[in-house]
Amino acid sequence: MRVALALFLLLPIPAVSQDQAAQRELIGRQQQFDAFVLQLRQSQEILKVRAGARPETETRHLAERQRLESVSAEQLRDVRTDTPQELRPYERQKADEERRPLITPQYLVPADGIEPPTN
């Protein structure tokens, strides 16, 4: 009887850690995709830059990638074990929304020779 009770009490612990690991994995996969999208956008953008503005653009690109990596690492650290299962999609959506401004193009001032996209 005691053995069965002990096994029953230990059963939920791995399930909770699996949920947390799955949540981390889902967020991590989305972060990898976002990093790819950012890198793709930057590689397309650098092709449109004049040679004289290239160093500034590359510096800006590096800073953008570092900000995204920093936010992504912080998000993975902040995955909580006590988040109810029904709130996990909300947690992933919130993480996506935090990264979204970091991967979308921001054409404020085309002083560095980048032409804004024409739609």
Q: Residue 40's domain spans which residues?
A: 18-101
Q: What is the CA radius of gyration of the chain?
A: 21
Question: How is residue 8 written in tokens?
Answer: 């029953």
For residue 86, being part of any structural domain is answered with yes
For residue 24, being part of any structural domain is answered with yes
pLDDT at 85: 85
Query: What are the DSSP calls for 22-37, one per residue?
Result: HHHHHHHHHHHHHHHH
pLDDT at 70: 95
Could you give phi then psi for residue 79, rounded to 5 degrees? Answer: -65, 125
Q: How many domains does the chain have?
A: 1
For residue 113, being part of any structural domain is answered with no
pLDDT at 10: 52
Nearest in space to 32 (alpha carbons), one of 68, 79, 80: 68
For residue 22, being part of any structural domain is answered with yes
For residue 112, being part of any structural domain is answered with no
Structure confidence by residue, pLDDT tens digits, 68-113: 999 999 999 988 878 888 888 899 999 999 999 988 876 544 555 5
Structure confidence by residue, pLDDT tens digits, 13-58: 444 456 778 889 999 999 999 999 999 999 999 999 998 999 999 9
For residue 53, being part of any structural domain is answered with yes
Angle made by CA atoms 65, 55, 104, in degrees to the nearest 5 = 35
pTM (2 d.p.): 0.69
For residue 54, being part of any structural domain is answered with yes
CA distance 99 to 7: 41
For residue 30, being part of any structural domain is answered with yes
Size of the chain, expressed as the number of residues it contains: 119
CA torsion 30-32-38-43 (nearest 10°) is -150
10-18 contact pairs (CB < 8 A, 24+):
16/81, 17/81
Q: With bands split at pLDDT 50, 70 and 90, how would you rate the model's confidence at 118? A: low
